[in-house]
Chain A
Amino acid sequence: MSNRENKDNEELMMQDEMEKCLIDVETCLEYTYGMWNKFDFPKLTIAERKEIPETIARVYKGDYVSELAAACQCFFLFRKAHEYAEGEAAGAVLLGDYLFSRFSHYLIPIDSTRLIDEFASLLKLEILEEMKGRNGFDMENYINFLYKIPSFIAE
């Protein structure tokens, strides 16, 4: 097989893994996405549903890939829901809290002390930045954080 064919095969395998991961996360979060749609929040775009699971599938090759992707997606949605607390406060707060519990649920089996600590630090930093008046969740910062996850878990 030529180098180009190898590269094409690798790319196809990667896309296959990303798609499987996305499907797993969609299945895990089916109930949660249903609840999100019940409230009067801006609907999640396809990019918002895909970007995080696909990033995890791309960067992390260890055990519990789908669980890790689900945890990361739940963390993002938890922060996003709580941003809407000024408007539809009841739904925003409760859904956000539920998403935090699901984030914890998926994070725990990965069994990485460093990862838990890094998420705790990220959450505190996010909160402090929000209170300083930053407008909305910093997705670019979060994606950069996701790229570091394999190194956190490896420790």
Chain B
Amino acid sequence: MNESLLRREIKQKLNNGMMYDDMRRHLKEMENNLLRMCFSPNLDMTSKLQNTIGSGGKRLRPMLSYFCYRAGGSRPMEIIPLMCMLELMHTASLIHDDVVDDSDQRRGTTTINRSSGKFAAVQYGDFLLARAMENLHIYRGTGINEALAEVSGQMCLGEFAQMENQFQIRSMTQEDYFLQIKRKTAYLLGASCYTGALAGGLSKSDAEAFKNYGENLGIAFQLKDDLLDFTGSSHGKPFCQDIKNGIFTLPLLYLKDSGLPETMLRLLEKKAKTDKEVMEIADYIKKSDAVGYTEFTLRKYSYNAEKSLKKIMECQEKDALIRLAKSMVKRKI
């Protein structure tokens, strides 16, 4: 996900220093709380979790929840525990994803499953979930806990779908892809906005508008991220990982619907591709109109995100969120 670009965009574009300072203070407090939550009698777990929390994540979900919270005038509830819960859920899912994908590296450091083993990584991720549970009582009866429980189930279903669709280029459809990315990514961004808005005292209908914004933004992010996977990423992630792992994203599915040669279909289905074969696929995509189609789709969702906030009262937080949505389409792939 292109979070570093987004974060820089927010920093540059925010013209209200006080709002940004306030957000930074809240994020700092959240991070201090998260580091404290990692403490346990197990030294390896404590240090690995603290390293993971402190390893430079962009805090997009708590940041979105904070903006939506701030947009509500009354702010009847605390926001820091919610920000912590969102980041704990996200971090636990990343630790578990690394086990599922058998990854070596995340954010430039060795993954927990590689350094401490798969079993330990799973348990450490579960420890973060236990810590997240400790904050549930703060939001009893608000709809926030229900929303978080629902979205965590959807994320798992998205991962299941991705697992089932791996290397299945012939049967996978664009609808499958969109449902997958909604579940894996967009719904949590939507829930971050929704729950932040509720905590900020906004009405359910306004919170739904923020939720729609977050979901559309999440789809746009994922589309950008998927394009960067084979056009060259600036995040330090290896190139063409999706193609290598049989994960089919919109450019390839668009091309499949337009008609792919049998040789290309067989290549895509192949489980152990050589680097040369991966490059062949990447070049095929880049030379087609699939990139243009995906960029257009990205613009569509970015615009949908903006439109979702149409009925929200004008405020600097709304402006910041709209700028964030627009920033997704500014950079050429």
Contact = CB atoms under 8 A, between A and B. Distances in A.
Interface of A: 35, 82, 85-86, 89-98, 100-102, 104-105, 108, 111, 113, 116-117, 119-120, 123-124, 127-128, 130-131
Contacts of B99: 85, 89-90, 93
Contacts of A85: 99, 118-119, 121-122
Nearest to A78: B126
A49 B120 CA distance: 27
29 contacts: A82-B123, A85-B122, A86-B117, A86-B118, A86-B119, A90-B100, A90-B163, A93-B96, A93-B100, A94-B100, A97-B155, A98-B160, A100-B152, A101-B152, A102-B153, A104-B152, A105-B150, A105-B153, A116-B133, A116-B136, A117-B137, A120-B130, A123-B127, A123-B130, A124-B40, A127-B124, A128-B42, A130-B119, A131-B123
Given A120-B130, A124-B40, 13 more contacts: A82-B123, A90-B99, A94-B160, A97-B93, A104-B152, A105-B146, A105-B153, A108-B146, A111-B140, A120-B134, A123-B127, A128-B40, A131-B42
Given A85-B118, A127-B126, A131-B45, A98 B153 contact: yes
* Main DSSP-derived SS at the A contact region: helix
Contacts of A94: 96, 100, 156, 159-160, 163
The DSSP consensus for interface residues of chain B is helix
Nearest 7 Cβ contacts at the A-B interface: A101-B153, A98-B156, A104-B149, A113-B137, A101-B152, A120-B133, A123-B130
Given A116-B136, A120-B133, A128-B42, A93 B145 contact: no
A140 to B, nearest CB: 21
Interface in B73-124: 93, 96, 99-100, 102, 117-124
A75 B9 CA distance: 42
Contacts of A111: 140-141
A83 to B, nearest CB: 8
B152 A123 contact: no
A96 B125 CA distance: 11
> Max chain A CB contacts within 10 Å: which of B41, B45, B122, B148?
B122
A120 B153 CA distance: 18
A116 B155 CA distance: 22
A52 to B, nearest CB: 19
B152 A97 contact: yes
B144 to A, nearest CB: 10
Contacts of A104: 133, 145, 148-149, 152
B254 to A, nearest CB: 28
A105 B151 CA distance: 10
For B137, B156, B159, B163, which residue has the most chain A Cβ atoms within 10 angstroms?
Answer: B156
Interface residues of B, number: 42
A101 B156 contact: yes
Contacts of A117: 134, 137
A148 to B, nearest CB: 17
A5 B319 CA distance: 73
Nearest to B149: A104
B149 A97 contact: no
B157 interface: yes
Contacts of B10: none
Contacts of A124: 40, 127, 130
Contacts of A130: 119, 123
A89 B136 contact: no
A13 B157 CA distance: 39
B52 to A, nearest CB: 16
Contacts of B44: 131
Given A82-B126, A85-B118, A105-B149, A98 B140 contact: no
A89 B137 CA distance: 32
B129 interface: yes
Residue from A91, A93, A95, A102 whose CB has the most chain B CB atoms within 10 Å: A93
Interface string B37-77: 00011101100000000000000000000000000000000
Contacts of A119: 133
Contacts of B131: 120
A130 B150 CA distance: 28
Contacts of B152: 97, 100-101, 104
A131 B153 contact: no
